[in-house]
Amino acid sequence: MVTIDAAVQAMLAREEIRQLPFRYATAIETRDADAMADLFVPHARFGDYGEGRDGARRLMSDSLDASVFAVVLVANHLIELDTEDRAHGQVWAQCFAHTHAEGFIEQLIKYEDRYEKHEERWCFSHRRHRLFYGVNRPTSPLTQSAADWPRNQTGVGDLPLADPAFVAWWSHATKHVVPHRDRKQPR
């Protein structure tokens, strides 16, 4: 019989683990290689990029250098606790990205994850990226004029236009000029 304390500990573990893919997606969106590296145990391996958090930083930096922007939507997270400090699971993600090499792409991804409790917090010990599909869009929605929402419902919104790296790419790639009022940071 499972005690109330054990059930609560399992719920807390699952909730902490459930946050990992959301934090991963946020690190990609914000281009934060340090935040990404912090999600992994120090002994995680990243192929040619090396091991540990330095390997994660190198992989993330290389990926971000190739990208104008990326947003990852996370869903259907299934978590199985194996022991009190190990777990495994899967999570689906839909990625929208604009890369320098391929333009605007959309991917449906299944991540097969292993988790490990390290220094009293849950981390990824391994992520396997399983591509269901990837598609290149011939016309990027990011090459539109500024939406100037709420005046217009279509166009490039204020979020990317608040990102200096995006604005530099957008202005050069499209010859669009950022509307004066969109240059301010969102409140």
Name the stretches of the chain with pLDDT < 50: 182-187
129 and 169 part of one domain: no
Give tens-digit pLDDT for 72-122.
999 999 999 999 999 999 999 999 999 989 999 999 999 999 999 999 999
Instruction: Say if CB 69 and CB 63 are below 8 A apart.
Output: no
Nearest-angstrom CA–CA distance, 146 and 156: 5
For residue 179, the model assigns a pLDDT of: 73
For residue 175, the model assigns a pLDDT of: 83
Question: Which of the listed residues 119, 137, 155 is the one where a domain comes to its end?
Answer: 137
- How many alpha carbons lie under 13 Å from residue 121 in its C-beta half-sphere? 8
For residue 181, the model assigns a pLDDT of: 56
Domain enclosing residue 151, as ranges? 141-183
Instruction: Say if CB 42 and CB 140 are below 8 A apart.
Output: no
User: Residue 60, exposed/middle/buried by CB under 10 A (0-12, 13-18, 19+)?
Assistant: buried
Q: Give how many domains the chain has, as a whole number.
A: 2
Nearest-angstrom CA–CA distance, 179 and 145: 10
Structure tokens at 38: 């912090």
The whole model's pTM is what? 0.87
Q: Give the contacts of 43 (CB within 8 A, at least 6 positions apart).
A: 51, 52, 125
Instruction: Say if CB 89 and CB 78 are below 8 A apart.
Output: yes
CATH number at residue 53: 3.10.450.50
State the residue for tokens 């091991």.
51
64 and 150 part of one domain: no
